[in-house]
Amino acid sequence: MLERVNGLKRALAAGTPAIGVWCSLATPLTTEVIAGSGADWLLIDGEHSPNDLRSIVAQLQAAGAYPTCEPAVRLPSDDPNLIKQIMDGGARSLMVPNVRTADQARTIVAAMTYAPGGFRGFSVGHRANAFGRIRNYHATAREQQLLAVQVECETGVANAAAIAAVPGVDALFVGPGDLSTNMGAMGNPSAPQVQASIAQVLKAARSQGKAAGILAPQQADAERYLKAGFTMVAVGSDLGLLARGSDDLVARFKPR
């Protein structure tokens, strides 16, 4: 058995835009609905959603029925033990929040990589290698892995080019909420200083031949970022779709 090609990694390497949807509801059923939507990728959120290892694995299983949609997992931190567990559970596309330095990025890459290149713990059979069925998995695992590191503070912005230059980093992904908050503009990613930093991250990623990504749930923002050159763009979330859809539905029947 051969490992399935990571379509998201291939698209980003080619400079092709890849449209994604955040999955925050922590249930396999809603993740399965998103996976079948035609999205190029989805993000199972382990940082700000009530997910644990078992619920993440269950969502990876649900998304696996849709091979054209690559499921990525955002970890709550850069803890190597969490990286090992999530990867053994079948995630090969990872997003790590608040990466501030190139050294931090190098450690994350090492945690994803078997020796001698890194220190990912070795296990003969797990979900990532189809329980031992993928031929030469341990020697070739890095080929289909993708790492998107989130830039969410001024330190990360200042070090963005150095972070992007780290081998094994595939994308710099802007977290506009945290970035705006950390820059004194909470809830206002459109603030001029935040927009300047977002543009700086894009420039840094492109200078190193890496992709840039961002979460942009407003259509006008998403279209603007795509036009600017961002290619890993999340355009909404399951939570947002349900909340706005239910609000709109109920409002139609409420007295005005």
Q: Chain-wide mean pLDDT for the chain? A: 97
Q: What percent of the chain has pLDDT over 70?
A: 100
Is the distance from CB of 39 to CB of 69 less than 8 angstroms? yes
Per the structure, the complete domain to which residue 141 belongs is given by: 7-251
Give per-residue pLDDT as tens, 9-25: 999 999 999 999 999 99
In a domain, 256, yes or no: no
Q: Would residue 48 show up in a list of annotated catalytic residues for this protein? A: yes
Judge whether residue 255 has pLDDT over 90: no
Q: What is the maximum alpha-carbon separation in the chain?
A: 67
Judge whether residue 204 has pLDDT over 90: yes
What is the rounded CA–CA span in Å between residue 5 and residue 225?
27
Judge whether residue 149 has pLDDT over 80: yes
Give per-residue pLDDT as tens, 224-249: 999 999 999 999 999 999 999 999 99
User: Among all chains, which residue has been given the structure tokens 């694995």?
Assistant: 57
Q: What is the CATH number of the domain that holds 110?
A: 3.20.20.60
Q: What residues contact residue 223 under an 8 Å CB cut-off, 6+ apart?
A: none
Judge whether residue 212 has pLDDT over 90: yes
Q: Are β-strands 70-74 and 41-45 bridged in parallel, bridged antiparallel, or unpaired?
A: parallel
In a domain, 2, yes or no: no
Residues linked to residue 41 through DSSP beta bridges, in sequence order:
20, 70
Judge whether residue 256 has pLDDT over 90: no
Q: Which of 2, 16, 48, 184 is catalytic?
A: 48
In a domain, 68, yes or no: yes
What is the rounded CA–CA span in Å between residue 61 and residue 131?
14
Rg of the chain on CA atoms, in Å: 18
pTM tops 0.85, yes or no: yes
Judge whether residue 116 has pLDDT over 80: yes
From the CB of residue 219, how many other CB atoms can be counted at a distance below 10 Å? 10
In a domain, 65, yes or no: yes
Judge whether residue 88 has pLDDT over 80: yes
Total tally of structural domains belonging to the chain: 1
In a domain, 1, yes or no: no
